A and B are shown apart, each in its own frame.
Chain A
Amino acid sequence: MKGEISLAGKLSLLRKGYVRVRICGGSYERFLNLCANHGILLWDLRPAAHGYEADLYLKDFFSLGPLARKCRTRVRVAGRYGLPFFLRRHRKRKMFAAGLLLCGSLIFFLSCFVWNISIDGNLSISRQSMMEYLRKEKIGYGTWKNSVDCRQLAADLRSAFLDLTWVSVRLQGTCLSIRVQENTDQPDQGGAEDESAGDEDRSAADGAGMDLVADAGGTIVRMITREGLPVVGEGDVVSPGDLLVTGAMEITDDNGSVTSYRYAVSDADVYIQTELPYRDVFPLAHRVMEYTGNRRYGFYVNLFGRCFGIDLGMDGFDEADIVGEEHQLCLFGDFYLPLSAAVLQAREYVTTAKTYSRSEALALAKSHLQKFLSENEEKGVQIFENNVKIEVSADSCQAAGTVTVIQKTGRRVRTQKSTLSGKGTDE
């Protein structure tokens, strides 16, 4: 029976209690058959010295007497297992039972609070700023779980952080799990589109149009208009704020005079060639941090937000980095308790003054420039020409010039309505 028993079966067995008996003397085969015929289950039956040993339930043990007498066998208890025996054995240990009860109650009480806040999916919004917001909302470590309205908190987070496109808040055990998704559109173009998105809807509703104006100056190299009337063409030079595509389209009569305007929401891809200024100056003299390899350790315990630490000589270093990872006590995977501990490690370092050589300074300036170009390329900007000159003087290195790029431009603004009012949009 033990060989194929499940965990639930084992727990049930221990709850009911069972005994191991030694059967000897008389006709023990007959005794076994009588047990079976009286519905007494025996398991782990093994031949032992002058008889057998077997396990049986505690309640069945009390009905063995008449059967043993009939077969003239003797039944001796070889072992007692399970909760009834445990309780009997510890019946005088009241404080132990009280401790167990108190421990269980304490764990139950602590499970009513939030002891861990997990934030996943945030890229540009830091955990610190989200925690600051939660603190303002009076949610933090030790907050009563019933006071946290997950749905409301998710809505509040979406309205507080406009970059969040999706927020999920749920309580798992004592852990408040916040999963977010941020808007991954390019901030320079997407932001403008987002701002104008509301205006676009409103414009469509009230019959007004939207113009497209340049948000950077340069020469137009490519232009694709999907909606609206273009007022500039390829090769034109525009300044920031210049009108690119108008949302007001004139309707003329046979004489060529304007009778009314039709308003539309302009939509176009306009690429301009423009120059981005670049300047990077850094001194040749700098300080370099070198680790000596000496390490010292410390330890602290965080209990209900209060820290108790043991410093094993970490203050002995003049200059040192202190790093540590805090581990919070967690039961059953998601039941976080207000107890955490960390081992701190202080790594000593010394700083030495150094000076970049000419070649080192040139390489560093080039790497800074390359990083600047790569960041722009990631934003969708095409690098057309690089006119940056790097000069190394006696005490500093300077990289300055312009980078010619081709980038998308255009942001929507409301069309100024003409005195000849139109009949509305074409929608």
Chain B
Amino acid sequence: MRKPVYQKMASAMEIPADLSERAVLVELTGQERLRVENYLGILEYTRERLLLQCRSCRLEVCGQHLVVESYAKEELTLCGRIEHVHYF
């Protein structure tokens, strides 16, 4: 697959993808805490499922007793028992 020029340049300059392409950044701490950056918004949120719209994909987090600990434009922190994380 042919990459656009800006991607080639970013790759040559070793700029991380979360900066150059605003790719979604997921930080998972244990099974009970998840921090997400570079998302566009919440599509769906229940106790068992959180669906986030990202720039190039959708991120689905499934689990139990999910609580959004903080929600701002830059960052979202999710707590609860996380069972799986799914991109599609």
Could you tell me which A residues sit within 8 Å of B by CB distance?
1-4, 29, 32-33, 35-37, 39, 41-47, 52, 54
Contact = CB atoms under 8 A, between A and B. Distances in A.
B71 A47 contact: no
B73 A39 contact: yes
Contacts of B71: 32, 35-36, 41-43, 45, 54
Interface string B10-54: 000000000000000000000000000000111111110000000
Contacts of B73: 36-37, 39
Given A3-B79, A46-B67, A47-B47, A33 B72 contact: no
Given A44-B67, A46-B67, A29 B72 contact: no
18 contacts: A1-B69, A1-B77, A2-B69, A3-B69, A29-B41, A32-B41, A32-B42, A32-B71, A36-B73, A41-B70, A42-B70, A43-B68, A43-B71, A44-B69, A46-B68, A52-B45, A54-B68, A54-B71
Determine chain B's interface SS by DSSP, over half rule: strand
Contacts of A4: 69
Given A33-B42, A41-B71, 5 more contacts: A39-B73, A42-B72, A43-B70, A45-B68, A47-B45
Interface of B: 40-47, 67-73, 77, 79
Contacts of A2: 69
A197 B68 CA distance: 78
A292 B67 CA distance: 67
A33 B44 CA distance: 11
Contacts of B42: 29, 32-33
B43 A29 contact: yes
Given A36-B71, A41-B71, A43-B70, A29 B44 contact: yes
A54 to B, nearest CB: 8
Contacts of B70: 1, 41-43
Nearest to A34: B41
